[in-house]
A and B are shown apart, each in its own frame.
Chain A
Amino acid sequence: MRLTGAEMVIEALKRENVEIIFGIPGGAMIPVYDALYKSDLKHILTRHEQGAAHAADGYARATGKVGVCFATSGPGATNLTTGLATAYMDSVPVVAFTGQVPTSLIGTDAFQETDATGITMPITKYNFLVKDIKELPHVIKEAFYIARSGRPGPVLVDLPKDIQNAEGEFDYPDNITIEGYIPDPPVSKREVLRILDVIKESKKPIIIAGGGIIISEASEKLREFVNLTKIPITTTLMGLGSYPETDELSLGMLGMHGTRYANYAVSECDLLIGIGMRFDDRVTGKIEKFAPHAKIVHIDLDKAEIGKLVNTFLGVVGDAKRVLNILNEEIKSKGLSFDFSSWHETLREWKEKHPLKYDLSDEGGVKPQYIVETVGKLTNHKAIIIGEVGQSQMWAAQFYKYIEPRTHLSSGGLGTMGYGLPAAIGAKLGRPDKIVVDISGDGSFQMNLQELATISHNKIPIVIALINNEYLGMVRQWQELFYDKRYSHTSLSGNPDFVKLAEAYGIPAKRVTKNEDVESALKEAIESGTPYLIDFIVKKEENVFPMVPAGAALDDMIG
């Protein structure tokens, strides 16, 4: 079949079963948009390319499929970068197509020329600059294959305008392999089974589940494993939802704002099994004092993660689901059983003694923790919750109580303010059956609020729960605790009237100033079936606790 480059892009997206594209056109991308115009592929025009990248990311995280975004050359491409870096840090499969100046002009500082592949090299899993129409079908196939296989990540395809216009034979391969790339390395059963020997010797084991569980769709196998072994489990921020937090053996999230009992458990355990996680500094606290009594077993698909930051007693390279399956089958066939009851007792005591808490009787505004808890109650813990970055993000992580994978979306690795609103768009369009709630700080919200137009125009029923503390709250919290309350440029006074702002976009909105009104307002918003913003005027100087100060050991918590 002979097609132009632009038509090839659209045809290839169909072959990849792409349902939706997020993007903004521009001079160097017009041919592709023209081919799009003639097709029935769905495209959502965002109001900023960063929004397009985050929306593709949110779609990918919520569905497990590859998210796709378009941008033009130059400023279009540079605007994508924050979104690509966000997806890269959290291993999210996204394919971005950017327009580029014609090949004959590359390198001449042509109008809207920028070195898109050069700029995105360190923030993509791979990228391509297509210089020959003959390569294009294969490149797109590779882009999707690379994005979704192995440890997923964003891939960028840069398309010079003359390549979009050129004609060529469209020969789209069904399957490809890439020399030297082994996305799913064979798992050594012998090595995996050694984990069981280590567990047998242990008295106080703990599992840390990370985002890898969700990526590999291993939640079921993880539940089975915990059920068979009765090993208590904590998750990272990225792992929230991989195991039901309502379960007795769950210790919730660990780390800087993790539960006391999870952090104590890690500091006290004699065996730590990390699965699909990467010992980020927000998880470990002071690394020299991390899990000081533990043998560390680390299961990860990415060999480079093993031994990167902590000394591992046993490292297993492999897909989490496969590894857990081997373990489960062995335990069942051998009828193995384990007894950690005295460890369970200790943890139960810690849980009772140090629950996550807040004081609802407190004056001075709505309690953000209560908002999140109420969202949890009203949605049976089954909504998709999008966090922004900062205090609101941490409250969303601590108080919702996640029970299903792909229901908590948050920029964990990069900590990108402005992620939430556009990611919510992608999530809702990918999972229309789900209630989607963006729990957003007032600072973060303003970093991508232009997407209100996208939401309004496309009637995307997202609930925006604005945690309005008139502060860049998390930074203010650090300033309060560690900089003697010198609030250097963290006040957001000058905020707009968010209710009027939403209304200006045609989005219904309401202001809530009292705890008593939280539930009814949320109920109304969720049941409205339309986009809806609630401006929660929260207690301004509320802090996120408990907290491990930067550089402290995990069990050295304040608050």
Chain B
Amino acid sequence: MKETIGILVKNHPGVLSRIAGLFTRRGYNIVSIAAGTTEDPKYTRITIVAEGDKRTLDQIVHQLNKQLDVIKVIVLGRDESVRRELALLKIEIKSGMERLEVMEIANAFRANIVDIGKKIITAEVTGPTEKVNAFISLMSEFGIKEIARTGKIALSRGPMSIREEKEDIEWEEE
């Protein structure tokens, strides 16, 4: 199973390597990891997409909770959260025809064209991972020169912040 985990940590030096190190040391698989500051600069929010069976995922949450720099860990299920990812792509185009096609698809995906050259279009797409994947897959038919992805970030739906969310672990099959 692949699951999305939101982690609120103290913004201490080395906190990212502590969290990442925990995954390496215990052999857990990270699919993606994204970190950024929060509304309060004393804290950092990390979103990790992890892969494993139920026992491993439970362990990941418990081991994260045990870290002294961790304030809270929540599981962000698909239905209960907004999950987004951003990708930048350099797409190769061989003709004016292809350029139009790329722009048309980008339009359908609400992707932004951020740079246009003779042979390269740079596009920015945002959305759930599946949407980003679908866009990349379509673009690969033209030829992709380069991709940069942010990894997933997520917030729970509804009024509550991570500090207020309940701690129960409920995994769902993705």
User: Which residues in A have some Cβ–Cβ distance to B below 8 Å?
Assistant: 117-118, 121-122, 125-126, 129, 146, 178-181, 302-304, 307-308
Contact = CB atoms under 8 A, between A and B. Distances in A.
Interface of B: 10, 13-14, 17-18, 21, 25, 55, 58-59, 62-63, 65-66, 68-72
Contact of A180 (B21, B63, B72): B72
Given A121-B18, A179-B71, A304-B59, A129 B13 contact: yes
Nearest to A303: B62
A303 B167 CA distance: 13
B14 A121 contact: yes
A3 to B, nearest CB: 24
Contacts of A122: 21, 25
B26 to A, nearest CB: 9
18 contacts: A118-B17, A121-B14, A121-B17, A121-B18, A122-B21, A129-B13, A178-B68, A179-B10, A179-B71, A180-B10, A180-B68, A180-B69, A180-B72, A302-B66, A303-B62, A303-B65, A303-B66, A307-B55
Contacts of B70: 180
B50 to A, nearest CB: 15
Contacts of B71: 179-180
A360 to B, nearest CB: 46
Nearest to B42: A179
Contact of B21 (A121, A302, A303): A121
A217 to B, nearest CB: 22
* Majority secondary structure of chain B interface residues (helix, strand, loop or mixed): helix
A146 B65 contact: no
Contacts of A146: 68
A176 to B, nearest CB: 13
A506 to B, nearest CB: 44
Contacts of A181: 68
B65 A304 contact: yes
Given A126-B68, A180-B10, 8 more contacts: A121-B18, A122-B21, A302-B66, A304-B62, A304-B65, A304-B66, A307-B55, A308-B55
Contacts of B58: 307
A464 B10 CA distance: 48
A125 B22 CA distance: 12
Given A126-B68, A303-B65, A308 B59 contact: yes
Contacts of A117: 14
Nearest to A129: B13
A130 to B, nearest CB: 11
Contacts of A304: 59, 62-63, 65-66
A302 B59 CA distance: 12
A121 B70 CA distance: 15
A307 B63 CA distance: 12
B81 to A, nearest CB: 22
Contacts of A302: 66
B11 to A, nearest CB: 12
Contacts of B69: 180
Nearest to A117: B14
The 6 tightest CB contacts between A and B, nearest first, are A304-B62, A180-B71, A122-B25, A126-B68, A304-B63, A303-B62
Nearest to B71: A180
B136 to A, nearest CB: 35
Contacts of A178: 68
Nearest to B14: A117
A528 B72 CA distance: 57
Contacts of A303: 62, 65-66
Nearest to B63: A304
B45 to A, nearest CB: 14
B126 to A, nearest CB: 31
Contacts of B62: 303-304, 308
A2 B66 CA distance: 36
A146 B67 CA distance: 11
Nearest to B54: A307
Nearest to A180: B71
A209 B65 CA distance: 25
A360 B131 CA distance: 75
A181 B68 CA distance: 6
A19 B10 CA distance: 33
A55 B43 CA distance: 38
A180 B8 CA distance: 10
Contacts of B10: 179-180
A99 B18 CA distance: 22
